[in-house]
Homo-oligomer: A and B are copies of this chain.
């Protein structure tokens, strides 16, 4: 059964995007950080998105700037199998993307029952909250960036009951980011 993880960077005050849907405040790049990010973007897994994050990621990773700034990651992101959950989109233009318009929880249960590759949700706070509440997320990978931004979207928006997790590992980076991995408690 494929494993379902979520990977997100959040600000010190808990936001994964700012109020303009921008994530560029998140990380100071250096060789250690670049190696970590490249290791995550191998193109082997399947990436899951809500519509808002999908559209932002598509805009960025298909741009010439992304190809120039982070060529390996851009290649990995564009080559990866991707799924976007949306009731409003009618078609998708980003390479290797499947649009799923059905009930989120039912669709994810189907994907997890399948023999497909492991899956990672990026961004997509409301999807994270909904799947977390159904105990469908096997691993939470959260990077806390050393920056406060004052407002934005939170990772578990709309969560209806408290979700207690178990810390599995922590790693501090020279750029000040703290990466922690959690499993359901």
Q: Which residues of A are interface residues toward B (Cβ below 8 A)?
A: 10-15, 25, 129, 132, 140, 142, 144, 146-151, 154-167, 170, 172, 176-178, 180, 182, 185
How many chain copies? Answer: 2
Which residues of B have CB within 8 Å of A158?
Answer: 150
List, in ascending order, chain B residues with CB within 8 A of A150's CB.
129, 156-162
Closest to A169 in B: B172
Q: Name the residue on B nearest A172 (C-beta).
A: B170
Contacts of A170 in B (CB 8 A): 170, 172, 178
Inter-chain CA distance A11–B163, complex, in Å, is 10
Asked if B148 contacts A165 (CB within 8 A), the reply is yes
Tell me which of A13, A158, A159 has the highest count of chain B C-beta atoms within 10 A of its own C-beta.
A13
The 7 closest A-B pairs by CB, nearest first: A14-B14, A150-B159, A167-B176, A148-B156, A148-B163, A170-B172, A13-B156
